[in-house]
Structures are given as structure tokens and as C-alpha cells.
Amino acid sequence: MQEHKLSLPYGTAIVHQKHIVHCNHDFAHILGYGSSDHLLAELSTLIELFSNDYLETIENEIELTLLGYSLPNAYLCKIRSKDGLYIPIAIMLKKMLWNDLSTIEMNVIDTRLAYLNYKGTREQDQMFRDMIINSTQGIIVHREFKPLFVNESWVSMQGANSTAQVLAMDSILSLVREEVASTVRKQYIDLVEHKCAATNTVVENIGLDGVSRYFNIYDNVILWQGEKAVQVILEDVSEKVALENELKFQATHDDLTGLYNRRAVYQWLEEQSNNNAPLVCLLMDIDNFKTINDNHGHQVGDNVICALASTANSVVQKSEGIVGRWGGEEFIAFIPVKLGLKCKLVAEKIRADFEALTFESKQQKSFHSTVSIGVANTNQIGDSASVDLLIQRTDQFLYLAKAEGKNRVCVDCSACRLPCVIDTY
């Protein structure tokens, strides 16, 4: 019997700071270039290599790999060739040192010939089936969401008891969140009607065991027993998504208090600018904070800062606003103006609740802390005024609150359209 071997084109490139700094001849050949030198002369960045659908994901994968969170499995995507066509590949990333630089080794496998190489003999068909069944990636084939085939990895990833349990299901749409079910149905129709190519997305599923997990999902149309069906390949990326979310949180939140940092506050304000709604601004500064640090230590000082952060956030959230740490012992809050909102009342609630808190010093002595608050809103400075002018205006009234004896709220009522009386919150 003639021996058949699976042989797929395989190439390697070295990536440093999103630039291809080296590649071998096989990598160049897969992309349709005559040599590696020819490729490097015409192609240097990942932007030129991947379409927008895959670029962000690849960049995130590279960043995570550099941090040591690489995944062992190949990632399916498409890469742009010299003639502008997109080639389906399997890509694997690995961190490595190259010329004393921390780089990424990017290995790609050209999968265009995979189906042809497996097709032909019964032995090869069985080998292909064994590969699918024993794959560490979850694989399911469905027609109109009715399962036709499923491997053990998919069963395990979705918290099912057995393949029989999955194949007995009328529809796997129950695993998809209700709010995205209509999108998933449309995507299925577009796939089988060839209105879109194979898709690759990260989605959240609720498994048969009730556990929420994130999966990298690759959908493509195949022929199953002579009729069109959709093959879904999935990879559990729950840990990676959790890490990405943690990195995003760290980039936008203050380490000590968990509140928004300055950059996140400005991002929130930019989102609010589209509706042109007036905003109330509060600037809060802990009174005599240096004395607290000097008398009780920085750990106690941090406790006081966190207490004000928690108090302010609890009050402001009820008014659908946000609180951010502005620096040191100073905090800022923005609240969308609504009919009946008493801006001074909100500030007074924060001031009074914070003053009522009791802190313990290192010497087991109890003490209280106070806060001064300045309040202004966009009505005072005109609808076209910038956020920075609003903050400057609010800072003036924080200064007045300090000058008038601290532990008080000072509000600019000169043109305020809102009631600023003190009342029970």
C-alpha cells in the first residue's frame, strides 16, 4: 500500500514591537514572495500582514505571550499574501530572545492543502477523524443549531455529562446569552448562504453546568452527509479574558481605591459629551491629611483615603455619576444633572457620612476625619465651556470651603438652576 504523509507548508518569522525583523524562506514562500529579503523589503509591520478582523487579536496575543501567558494551541486566522489574497493559516506564538531582544517567534502553518492531503483513502479518513475526536480544541458540527457531531473536548469545555447528552439537544442556542441569540442566528444564515466568510470571535457561553466561560470560536461551513452544516471549533480563553480584563482595569483604575484614574475620568466625560447634558462637578479634599499621616502613619492615612473613596462612590452612584481619584487625598466626581437633583445635598451627604466614620490609630486611639467639597455645574460657565474650565471653577469653591474653616460644602449658586438647600438625604 502506498504510504500517505501529511505535509503542510510551515514558516517562521520573528516579531519585535509589531515589526517583522526576520523570517525564513518558507515563511516568505507561503506569502508568495521569492525570498525572505524580498518580503522584508516590502513588508515590515503586522498591520500589513493581518486584516483588521484579526490584527487586534494578534496584537493582544503577542502582548500576553511577552508577559508569559501564551497558549499552547494553534490559533486559526488569515494572513495577507503578496497578491493581496487572504490565506487561512494556523499560527503559534512563542516568546524568545533574538539578538538580545525580547521578541516573538511566530510560526505559521499553511492550511490550504490540509483537506486535500487528508482526502483520498480510508486510512487517511480515519486518521482525520481520530485527530478531530482527540483534539484538545472543542469541535461541534450543527445544522440550524441541532448537534450532528461533537468531540470529547467540546463536551468537557461546556460542562456536559456526555456526547449523548449533547447530541440529544434540540438546539445549542440555549448556551448563548439571550441578548446575542438573534446575532448568532443571523451569522449562521450568512454563513450557509455564503454572505460572509468563516468567522472568528470571542464569545461568552453559559455551559450545560451553568458555568460562564469565554471561548475563541471559529465557524465555517462544511458538507456533512451531503448537506451544508456549520463546524464550530472553540478554545477556552476564560483565563486569558480574565487577565485582559484585569489589565484593562489596572490601566483605568487607581491601585489603592479602585476608583477611576484621571485618564478613565476623561474618557467617561468624552462619552458624555455627545448628549450635551449639563454636569455637576464635585472636588473633594481630605482636611489636614498631612497631620493624619504624621500622627498616625501612612497605613492609617491610606485607610482614610479608601474610606472617603468608598463613601463618595456609594453616594454618587445613586445619582448615576462617577468618582475618580484626582491625586493624593483629592477626589473628583461628575453627576449628570437631572430634574430634582440637589447638588449641594449630594455633597453634604458625602461630607456628613465621612465625618461620622471612626478610624483607629496605631496607638489604638480613635479619631475622625473631615472633608471639604467644592461644587459647580456647567450652567455657571455656559454650555460650550470645556471640562477643564468646569474643574477650575469647582476648584475655586473647594478653595473657599477650605478658607471658610474646612469640613464644609461650598457651592457656586450664582447661576444655578437647581435647588442647593441642605435637607435630609
Residues that are catalytic: 329
CA dist 362 and 23 (Å) reads 61
In 193-319, which ranges are continuous DSSP H helix?
238-252, 262-272, 289-296, 298-317
Q: Residue 60 to residues 55, 65, 392: CA-CA distances in angstroms?
A: 9, 8, 38
- For the chain, the straight-line distance linking the first and the last C-alpha, in angstroms and rounded, comes to 87
DSSP letters for 213-242: EEEEEEEEEEEETTEEEEEEEEEE-HHHHH
List, in sequence order, every beta strand (DSSP E) within 113-198.
138-143, 146-150
CA dist 303 and 43 (Å) reads 54
CA dist 33 and 79 (Å) reads 13
CA dist 408 and 401 (Å) reads 6
Question: Which among 367, 349, 348, 365 is positioned nearest to 357, based on CA atoms?
Answer: 367
CA dist 237 and 227 (Å) reads 31
CA dist 22 and 78 (Å) reads 20
- Residue 105 β-bridge partners: 14, 94
Question: Which among 279, 256, 384 is positioned nearest to 334, based on CA atoms?
Answer: 279
CA dist 277 and 379 (Å) reads 10
CA dist 309 and 257 (Å) reads 6
Reading the block at residue 177, the C-alpha cell is: 446569552
Question: Which among 324, 425, 331 is positioned nearest to 373, based on CA atoms?
Answer: 331
Reading the block at residue 259, the C-alpha cell is: 476608583
Expressed in percent and rounded to 5, the helix, strand and coil fractions of the chain are 40, 30, 30
CA dist 413 and 423 (Å) reads 16
CA dist 357 and 370 (Å) reads 9
